[in-house]
Structure formats: structure tokens, C-alpha cells
A and B are shown apart, each in its own frame.
Chain A
């Protein structure tokens, strides 16, 4: 079985500041890793994913995450945040090749203040 720990439940930052949302996972098998974003009263949107290959993955809106197998981490970073990035962010894991039974962390609420 897999598990995910998101170390921060809330992260407040000022606009244009850098941010890192931390995610650690536990698994006895190889995994796929995901970051999803949830805006208020909406469903989940996939932000980025690591399946294989390059350990650094990027999204179209400036977020990036790095898969670190030795530290079992998949932290999400953005060098400069916008007000519109305010949302709940969920890290998720699934067994490699599975792609359906996602195990989510409890989420990190990112609040970007002007």
C-alpha cells in the first residue's frame, strides 16, 4: 500500500514570492506521482505528473516538481506566485502502471496575498 504526507496544511505567501509545497510518500513498489489543484467549489485538475524518465517535471503555468527517490519526495515549487494560484494542492501516488487507484495526501492550502 502507498501513503502520502503533505507536511504543511497551509502555506501563506505574498504575490511574486517563491513557494515550495512539500510532499513525501511511502511505498514498497515503484510509483507514479501527481500534483492536483482544487479551486474553491470545483473538482480536481491535474497540475503535473511523474511517470518515468526525467525526475524534473513542469506544468504549463510555471510550477515544477522533482521526484527524489532516495528521499521519497515530490515537492512542488514555483519561483513567483500569482494571486490566481490561491487554491488547495494535493499530492497523490499510485503504483506504477496502475494509474487509477490514487492515494492522496491531506492537501496544502496555498494562499497568495497581495
Chain B
């Protein structure tokens, strides 16, 4: 079975541009979460989506937005890119929004975004 997939693998943008990152969850998983991992730091929670609705949001500006589609895949959008947005963006999927010993989050390989 395929794990969590993310595209693209790498991306280079310039300041002020817009970017869209994509994530496909494991088959059967209905929850997708996004994390930002800046070099040398641990991942930081950005969003969680479940059944196409936002269920949680981290401390990120409104330039960051996301959505989930009927097939449970998800997009993360970042507007007006800043140099500080350069990071590895990780997507994680799980069966449900919360709870349960079986509700483990599985992470994708990430998208490396470089803002010049």
C-alpha cells in the first residue's frame, strides 16, 4: 500500500510569490495535518483537516491556508512568500481527527520549499 505522498518534492520560489503544495493521504485515512519544519527545528503544526473541514490551526499568519477535497487529499497554499517560509513542509494522515491508540499519524516525505 502506498504511504502518504506529497508533491512536488522540491520547489524554489521568490519572495512575494504564491505556492501550492499537495498531499495524498493513505487510503482510508480521512484526516490530514500539515507541519512546517524549519532547518534545525522540530516540525510545527499548521493545520488539521478532517472530512473537508478545518479542525485545528497553529500559530501561522493568514497567508497560510489549506483545503481538503472529497477524496481526502489536501492542498496547502502560502501567499506573499517570505524568506522565512523556506522550510520542509510535512503532511501527515490519520484515520480520524483524534483519539484512539490506532489513530497514528503517518508522515509523508515532505516538500522542500526554498524562497529566494
A45 near B: Cβ within 8 Å? yes
Interface size class of B (residues with CB under 8 A): 20 to 34
Chain A residue, CB-CB nearest to B112: A41
Q: How many residues of A contact B (CB 8 A)?
A: 24
Q: Which residues of A contact B25 (CB under 8 A)?
A: none
Are B43 and A102 in touch, CB under 8 angstroms?
A: yes
What's the least CB distance linking B78 to chain A, in Å? 19
CB pair B107–A43 under 8 Å, yes or no, is: yes
- Rounded to whole angstroms, the CA-CA distance of A2 and B103 in the bound complex is 20
Q: Which of B85-114 touch A at CB < 8 Å?
A: 90, 92, 94, 97-101, 103-110
Point out residues on A near B: beta carbons under 8 Å: 4, 36, 41-46, 49, 51-52, 90, 92, 97-107
Candidate in A46, A49, A99 with the most chain B CB atoms within 10 angstroms: A99
Main secondary structure of the interface of B (DSSP, over half): loop
* A102 neighbours in B (Cβ, 8 Å): 35, 43, 45, 105
> Which residues of B approach A to under 8 Å, CB–CB?
4, 31, 33, 35, 40-45, 48, 55-56, 58, 90, 92, 94, 97-101, 103-110
The answer to whether A43 touches B94, judged by C-beta atoms less than 8 angstroms apart, is no
Could you jot down 12 A-B contacts, CB within 8 Å?
Answer: A4-B42, A43-B107, A44-B43, A44-B107, A51-B101, A97-B98, A98-B98, A98-B99, A99-B99, A104-B44, A106-B41, A106-B42
Query: Would B105 and A99 count as touching, CB distance under 8 A?
Result: yes
Return B106 CB to nearest CB of chain A, in Å. Answer: 8
For the complex of A and B, list the 10 residue pairs with the smallest distance between their C-beta atoms, beginning with the closest: A104-B42, A43-B107, A44-B107, A43-B109, A99-B103, A97-B99, A104-B43, A98-B98, A100-B48, A101-B45
